[in-house]
């Protein structure tokens, strides 16, 4: 039975097909002629009488195919052949001199004559004097007028004249288009259908006013505003073209609510933090004024945190909001132990120039110990101002884009803080396609002004090292170092093997990283796609955190693999430290293995 099925499959695969050969002219003409042929899809079993009938029809269709591309003098010969298996047709084309556009007249009347979008079509219609006549481009030009009229509210627009005049004797064409747009319609009343929020609040998202010129781009923007609000699962914005009157267009907005409550759970892993567990809760619309409550818990061996936030949309809810928050953050590394409690408020506004601006005021109480320094408890009232902006081409693997973030924060003792300080930070990343792949540049900078550095809590000190800093070095392992002073009763560090008991030999000094006032980290990376979802990378990182501006950069080089997964890029890097403990000097010392997940920008 299997043999019979296999034989049948091979027989079907080897079935003969008609041979249609087209010679002469260019490939565009040949393809268009083939497309017009009425017998192109016939099988070898076609009856002779039907084939003869189709060949007669083909005479007209071949001329139409040529004329569509401006070949009004097209001549051709047809040869039909047969053998025992099938039939074939050979067409030999002689295109002749093509018809060219000798005159192009485009006139726009009505209100659209002053519309820049219509002027753009007038100035670049897609054809010009001297071009070979192409009826497809002519029809495309007419469609551009019609589509633009609908998009911009010229619902009464029509062509007073749309004509191509051809002089076959001179192979010349005159193209004439006279478009009368009529009056441009205006937006009318906006009707919103929803039942979970106050109508007054929902209308704050509306980006158009009654009486403004109609534009579908504004309707699309309105849809995006509602879709990104986090309140609605489905959004439909549409003009009511059945209710046109007095040159106005009513707009209907239909909103389908999302579920009010959201619960999330997840797990992940990163080299800096180790395994981690994430739990989240959200009340998307706590009340009919659109207030929002979130709570998030992150548990990991190095960093754990909990934060609850209450968000209040402001007058322009899509662009500004106030957030009240409270949280706890714990960090436990080889040199840092920190417990930070924070409550605060912030005001965030998204400006028309696409910069995100956030004013903040936080009260922070932190108990922290860095290295062997004594445990330090600080109470700080911290005002802050931050700006950020991201530009990207929107791809999961962006080929062009950048991200900038900068901010200033401080805490004056005059407001009751235990420590006075002023701090500025800046972070940037730039991606550009080059050499068949991508160049990725990254920089992190920071400057702190404080009278007594040991008074500065751990969360406000700068460190370098880790997945997103200087790879090849462990998380927050780069910074100013302090000598470890043994506590009373503790034994000093043991001397290196082989040197025990040497008379007069002082004990080996031990140092711990304590961070720094200032930070400078830079990185350059090149990656290259080897498969649609896989890339390889090479990079060079350097950075330091210092109490002055005499940076002692720790450097590293390395290679990596990138997987562009459905949840975002997954990165695995192997980095070689070039300073302190150099890679290759002893086993795995100086080698860094880094794993991280997240967007490039």
Q: pLDDT (tens digit, 9 = 90+) per residue, 441-460?
A: 999 999 999 999 999 999 99
N-to-C CA span, the chain: 59
| CA 29/CA 33 separation, integer angstroms | 6
How does residue 504 score in pLDDT terms, banded at 50, 70 and 90?
Answer: low
Kindly list the strands in the beta sheet with 100-109, ordered across the sheet, starting from the edge strand earlier in the chain.
100-109, 172-180, 158-167
Burial track 24-45 (b if 16+ CB lie within 10 A, e otherwise): bbeeebbebbeebbebeebeee
pLDDT tens per residue, range 67-107: 999 999 999 888 888 887 888 888 899 999 999 999 999 99
Q: Where in the chain is the domain with CATH 2.40.160.50?
A: 262-485+509-597
pLDDT-derived band at 506 (thresholds 50, 70, 90) equals low
* pTM summary value: 0.81
Q: What is the DSSP letter of 305?
A: E
C-alpha pair distances (Å), 312 with each of 315, 320, 472: 10, 9, 43
- Nearest CA to 177 among 158, 156, 152, 155? 158
Average pLDDT over residues 398-415: 94
Residue reference for tokens 């792949």: 437
Q: Confidence class of residue 1 from pLDDT cuts 50, 70 and 90?
A: very low
Distance CA 515, CA 511 (A): 12
Query: Which residues pair with residue 427 across a beta bridge?
Result: 405, 444
CA 304 to chain centre: 29
Confidence of residue 251 (pLDDT cuts 50, 70, 90): very high
Nearest to 601 by CA among 333, 405, 411: 405
Q: How confident is the model at residue 263, as a pLDDT?
A: 97
Bridge partners of 107, per DSSP, are 178
| Over residues 319-339, mean pLDDT | 94
Half-sphere exposure of 63 (CA within 13 A, CB side): 8
Instruction: Please state which CATH number belongs to domain 186-257.
Output: 3.10.20.310
Q: Residue 601 and residue 21: Cα distance in Å, rounded?
A: 53
For residue 16, the Cα-to-chain-centroid distance in whole angstroms is 49
Q: What is the pLDDT of residue 585?
A: 60
CA distance 137 to 139: 5
Query: What's the pLDDT score for residue 498?
Result: 45
> 191: how many CB neighbours lie within 10 A of its CB?
11
Rounded distance between C-alpha atoms, residue 425 and residue 387, angstroms? 11
**Span 37-59, mean pLDDT?**
80
Answer for the pair 534, 564: CB distance below 8 angstroms, yes or no: yes
CA R_g for the chain: 36
Place of tokens 């955190």: 545
Rounded average pLDDT over 572-589? 77
| CATH homologous superfamily for the domain 17-94 | membrane protein fhac (3.10.20.310)
pLDDT in tens, 290-325: 999 999 999 999 999 999 999 999 999 999 999 999
Q: Write out the residue limits of the CATH 3.10.20.310 domain(s) in the chain.
A: 17-94, 100-180, 186-257
Residue 379 contacts by C-beta under 8 Å, 6 or more apart in sequence? 363, 364, 365, 416, 417, 418
Q: Is 70 or 59 the better-scoring residue by pLDDT?
A: 70
Question: In angstroms, rounded to a whole number, what is the distance separating the alpha carbons of residues 572 and 566?
Answer: 16
Q: Is the pLDDT of residue 497 over 60?
A: no
| Of the options 2.40.160.50, 1.10.3720.10, 2.60.40.1120, 2.60.40.10, the CATH number for the domain spanning 262-485+509-597 | 2.40.160.50
Distance CA 422, CA 362 (A): 14
pLDDT, residue 455, reads 92
Give the C-alpha separation, 526 to 562, whole Å: 11
Q: How confident is the model at residue 269 (pLDDT cuts 50, 70, 90)?
A: confident
Extract the tokens encoding 421. Answer: 């300080």
Is residue 499 over pLDDT 50? Answer: no
Render pLDDT for 514-565 as a digit per residue (tens, 0 to 9).
999 999 999 999 999 999 999 999 999 999 999 999 999 999 999 999 999 9
Q: Quick check: 500 and 491 in contact, CB under 8 A?
A: no
**CATH class, range 100-180:** alpha beta
Q: Give the per-residue pLDDT at 60.
A: 87
**What is the per-residue pLDDT across 31-41, written as a single tens digit (0 to 9) for each?**
998 888 887 77
């Amino acid at each position: 039975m299997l043999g019979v099925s296999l034989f049948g499959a091979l027989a079907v695969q080897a079935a003969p097909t008609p041979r249609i050969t087209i010679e002469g002219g260019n490939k565009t003409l040949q393809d268009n002629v083939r497309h017009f042929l009425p017998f192109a899809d016939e099988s070898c079993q076609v009856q002779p009488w039907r084939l003869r009938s189709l060949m007669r029809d083909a005479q007209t269709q071949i001329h139409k195919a040529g004329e569509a591309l401006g070949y009004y003098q097209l001549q051709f010969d047809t040869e039909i052949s047969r053998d025992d298996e099938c039939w074939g047709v050979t067409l030999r084309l002689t295109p002749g001199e093509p018809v060219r556009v000798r005159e192009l007249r485009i006139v726009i009347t009505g209100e659209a004559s002053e519309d820049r979008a219509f002027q753009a079509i007038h100035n670049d219609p897609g054809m010009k004097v001297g071009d070979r006549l192409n009826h497809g481009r002519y029809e495309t030009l007419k469609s551009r007028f019609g589509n633009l009229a609908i998009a911009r509210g010229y619902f009464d627009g029509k062509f007073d004249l749309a004509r191509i005049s051809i002089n076959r004797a001179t192979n010349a064409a005159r193209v004439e288009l006279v478009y009368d747009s009529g009056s441009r319609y205006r937006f009318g009343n906006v009707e919103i259908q929803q039942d979970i929020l106050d109508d007054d609040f929902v209308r704050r998202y509306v980006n158009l006013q009654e009486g403004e010129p109609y534009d579908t781009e504004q309707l699309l923007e309105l849809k995006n505003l509602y879709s990104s609000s986090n309140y609605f699962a489905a959004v439909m914005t549409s003009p009511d073209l059945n209710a046109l009157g007095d040159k106005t267009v009513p707009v209907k907005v239909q909103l389908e609510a999302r579920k009010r409550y959201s619960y999330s759970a997840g797990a992940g892993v990163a080299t800096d933090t180790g395994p981690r567990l994430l739990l989240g809760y959200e009340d998307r619309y706590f009340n009919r004024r659109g207030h929002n409550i979130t709570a998030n818990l992150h548990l990991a061996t190095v960093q754990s945190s909990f934060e609850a936030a209450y968000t209040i949309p402001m007058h322009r809810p899509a662009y500004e909001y106030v957030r009240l928050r409270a949280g706890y953050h714990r960090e436990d590394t080889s040199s840092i132990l920190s417990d930070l409690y924070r409550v605060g408020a912030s005001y965030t506004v998204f400006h028309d120039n696409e910069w995100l601006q956030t004013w903040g005021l936080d009260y922070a109480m932190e108990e922290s110990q860095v290295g062997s320094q004594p445990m330090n408890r600080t109470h700080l009232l911290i005002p802050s101002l931050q700006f950020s902006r991201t530009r990207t081409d929107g791809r999961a693997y962006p080929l062009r884009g950048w991200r900038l973030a900068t901010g200033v924060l401080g805490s004056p003792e005059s407001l009751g803080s235990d420590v006075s300080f002023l701090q500025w930070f800046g972070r940037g990343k730039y991606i550009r396609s080059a050499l068949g792949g991508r160049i990725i540049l990254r920089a992190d900078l920071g400057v702190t002004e404080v009278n007594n550095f040991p008074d500065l809590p751990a969360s406000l000190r700068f460190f370098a090292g880790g997945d997103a800093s200087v790879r090849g070095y462990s998380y927050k392992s780069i910074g100013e170092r302090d000598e470890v002073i043994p506590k009373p009763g503790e034994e000093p560090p043991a001397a290196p093997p082989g040197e025990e008991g040497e008379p007069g030999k002082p004990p080996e000094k031990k140092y711990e990283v304590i961070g720094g006032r200032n930070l400078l980290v830079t990185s350059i990376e090149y990656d290259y796609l080897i498969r649609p979802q896989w890339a390889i990378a090479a990079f060079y990182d350097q950075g330091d955190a210092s109490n002055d501006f005499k940076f002692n950069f720790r450097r590293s080089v390395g290679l990596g693999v990138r997987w562009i997964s459905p949840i975002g890029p997954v990165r695995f890097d192997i980095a070689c430290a070039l300073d302190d403990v150099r890679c290759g000097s002893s086993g795995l010392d100086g080698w860094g293995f880094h794993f991280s997940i997240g967007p490039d920008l």
